[in-house]
Amino acid sequence: MSNDYCFAPPAVVSAPVRGTAARFPIRRIFCVGRNYEAHAKEMGVAVDREAPFYFTKAAGDYVPSGATVPYPPGTGNYHYEMELVVAVGKAGFRIDEEAALGHVFGYACGLDMTRRDLQLAAREQRRPWDLGKDFEQSAVLSEIVPADQCGHPASGVIELRVNGQTKQSSDLSLLIHGVPALLAHLSRYYHLEPGDLVYTGTPEGVGPVVAGDRIEGSIAGVGGIALAVGAAE
């Protein structure tokens, strides 16, 4: 009986992959903060061009594109953040920037959904951001596009619309820390593993959504993502 569990363990969380029935098992979710200058400015903070910083979400926060999620508990200011997501496919530690793209499985569109009031209150009090960032159904993800289908996008339009109205429109070339730099930096602190995701940060134009809103995002060469906001539970 030593192999039994006290209760059923959680199922493996996984995302669909374009062009195959095989799914991408999600291991960890890293998110980069303030990686576009204009977004840092709208948040009232300076960017650090020397080094990125991170927060994390639990893999169980994953929700697939196309879902309807309830307006989350504990917030009155629920925000979208449209982001390019890197899916890691090969383990690495202290990866050289020149070799970093060899560790990428593919790319996806992501929404780093945020309880902005709780995040800003935590920031103000110098507390961790978990209540604002790491909550159920806060990590929205499109299908993952293998890099052999989409290449390694370093430029191209990244956009988000709410109810058909454009709210975010920028270009991947404006990322302060690009994908190779992020993987090189992050792997100085973690042993990256297949299944890790990196949400690379959002451009300017973040804002609130309410029940009944429909969010749609797109990244040139990668694809699209959608989320509908339902009533609070």
Q: What distance, in Å, lies between the first and last C-alpha atoms of the chain?
A: 39
Helix (H), strand (E) at residue 82: strand 82-88
**Residue at shortest CB range from Mn ion:** 112
Residue 140 vs 226, nearer CB to Mn ion? 140
- Nearest distance from C-beta of residue 39 to Mn ion, angstroms: 8
Contact 107, 153 (CB under 8 A): yes
What contacts 171, CB < 8 A, 6 or more positions away? 155, 156, 157, 158
- Nearest distance from C-beta of residue 23 to Mn ion, angstroms: 24
Residue identified by tokens 């959504």 is 209
Stretch near Mn ion under the rule CB under 5 A, chosen from 142-150, 170-178, 180-188, 198-206: 198-206
Contact 112, 125 (CB under 8 A): no
Q: Does 200 bind Mn ion (CB under 5 A)?
A: no
Q: Does 61 bind Mn ion (CB under 5 A)?
A: no
Q: Does 202 bind Mn ion (CB under 5 A)?
A: yes
- Nearest distance from C-beta of residue 35 to Mn ion, angstroms: 8
Residue selected from 15, 61, 78, 81 as contacting Mn ion according to rule CB under 5 A: 81
Residue 92 vs 115, nearer CB to Mn ion? 115
The dihedral built from the CA positions of residue 50, 55, 61 and 67, taken in this order, carries a sign that is: negative
Residue 85 vs 192, nearer CB to Mn ion? 85
Provide the 10 A C-beta neighbour count for residue 99: 13
Subset of residues 110 to 149 that bind Mn ion, contact rule: CB under 5 A: 112
Alpha helices in 17-108 (DSSP H): 37-42
Stretch near Mn ion under the rule CB under 5 A, chosen from 9-17, 143-151, 158-166, 194-202: 194-202
Q: What gap in Å lies between CA 172 and CA 180, rounded to an integer?
A: 13
Stretch near Mn ion under the rule CB under 5 A, chosen from 48-56, 58-66, 118-126, 201-209: 201-209
Q: Residue length, the chain?
A: 233
- Per CB under 5 A, residues contacting Mn ion are 81, 112, 202
